[in-house]
Amino acid sequence: MASKGLKFIVVDATGAPGVEIANEEIFKQGIEKVRKALTAHDVTKPGGALNSYGTDVLINIINEAGGLPQRNFSSGQDERAANISGEAKAEAIKKNGGVRPHACSPGCIIRCSEVWTKPGGKDPVGVLEYESVWALGCNCGIYDLETVGELNRACNDLGTDTIETGDTIAVAMEGGLIEFGAKDDALKLMDEIRNKTPLGRILVNGCVFTGKAFGVTRVPAVKGQGFPAYDPRPIKGIGVTYATTPMGADHTAGYAIAPEIMGVGGKADPRDPKKAELSRNLQLATAVIDSSGYCLFIAFAILDIPEGLEGVVESVNGVLGTSLTVNDIPIIGKQIIDTELAFNKAAGFTSIHDRLPEFFYEEKLEPTNEVFNVPDDELDKVF
């Protein structure tokens, strides 16, 4: 499709039959329980964390925890991160004439989304997510939202993933191609991709490929996928998920940050390296939520409020006419993950691919001075 210049497909629901619902009563009962949980939980309720500041609310929180990677994972904290925080962004959106909050999907109660613009409402960009702001911002030593917005806009135009692009620019910076913090030069790298120059063709292949091209060994990736916005040295559970999820380094696959940092879904000590069980349970539950069609952000509420979780299962039963219970969630999650693991095995992946890059085990991260000290057998215990 890309080679034919196809940019998008519009699906027009006019006259379509809609979704068949096997049991309307059970479905409505289920979604009412989900609605109640979402409107009660501090993270998801109207005026709550996600609704007020979007996912970027995490910048200050993870920076405070010393786990916000700076300049290609060379430090876990920087006071300038406040400039690109969710709080600073919400102010700038108000001033510049953007939109916040906004629902990216009709009927969403949480409404974490937004429209970022330049002053005067110009050049709108879809939501500047926490991950994107981190990847294109502090991971590249860039601490202003205007530049992050421009880089994000370029990624959207070109169809490149913001996390992978940020990791790639940071690795290129580490390799000496441009300096950390060089905003204009970073934007020029996006032009290289746009113009399909030889350099652009290297960069667009991602951080692992770029690391090889420039002789950089400090490349944050698992199974070829660049790391998201949490350093696994001071927050070990998320590192266990990066290492073991069949997806490659994917924070959403088992979001251990919830219990380790936010106290959501229980509490876990972020420094405790025994995290196989926590990561596994989260990965199984996430596989089910992702398959249900619900936005993953409902997880914050339903991990804490049992009726919300029941509501998710009931709404699925209402649509499908099944009689699943909450106890079926880990069983179905395991079936999904087993399918993914079987795919990976057939593609040649083994347990040696369930490891983080060496420098996370060897280099201490400031300011916590932690390394990733989760033993291999703990990683192998996950699945």
Rule CB under 6 A: which residues touch ligand SF4? Answer: 103-105, 108, 110-113, 295, 297
Min dist CB 232 to ligand SF4, Å, is 24
How many whole angstroms separate alpha carbon 210 and alpha carbon 265? 38
Alpha carbon distances (Å) from 48 to 31, 55, 99, 110, 111: 20, 11, 17, 8, 10
Nearer to ligand SF4, 203 or 303 (CB): 303
Min dist CB 231 to ligand SF4, Å, is 24
Nearer to ligand SF4, 104 or 347 (CB): 104
CA 173 and chain centroid, separation: 23
Going by their DSSP bridges, the two strands 225-226 and 221-222 should be labelled as antiparallel
Phi, psi of 314 (to 5 degrees): -65, -40
* Structure tokens, 201: 């063709």
Nearer to ligand SF4, 126 or 175 (CB): 126
How many whole angstroms separate alpha carbon 189 and alpha carbon 125? 19
Min dist CB 272 to ligand SF4, Å, is 30
Q: What DSSP line would sit under 182-250, residue for residue?
A: -HHHHHHHHHHHHTT-HHHHHHTT-HHHHHHHHT-----EETTEE--S--TTTSHHHHHHHHHSTTSS-
Nearer to ligand SF4, 55 or 281 (CB): 55
Count of CB atoms situated within 10 Å of the CB of 137: 29
Going by their DSSP bridges, the two strands 113-118 and 122-126 should be labelled as antiparallel
Max CA-CA distance within the chain? 62
Q: Which helix or strand (DSSP H or E) is residue 361 part of?
A: helix 359-362
Min dist CB 1 to ligand SF4, Å, is 25
Nearer to ligand SF4, 297 or 349 (CB): 297
Nearer to ligand SF4, 77 or 113 (CB): 113
How many whole angstroms separate alpha carbon 231 and alpha carbon 220? 10
Nearer to ligand SF4, 258 or 379 (CB): 258
Nearer to ligand SF4, 231 or 304 (CB): 304
Q: Is 370 helix (H, G, I), strand (E, B) or coil?
A: strand
Min dist CB 169 to ligand SF4, Å, is 25
Nearer to ligand SF4, 103 or 326 (CB): 103
Min dist CB 197 to ligand SF4, Å, is 34
Q: What DSSP line would sit under 77-144, residue for residue?
A: --GGGGGGSHHHHHHHHHHHT-EEEE-SSTT-SS--EEEEEETTTEEEEE---HHHHHHHTGGGT---
Min dist CB 134 to ligand SF4, Å, is 17
Min dist CB 105 to ligand SF4, Å, is 4
Min dist CB 308 to ligand SF4, Å, is 14
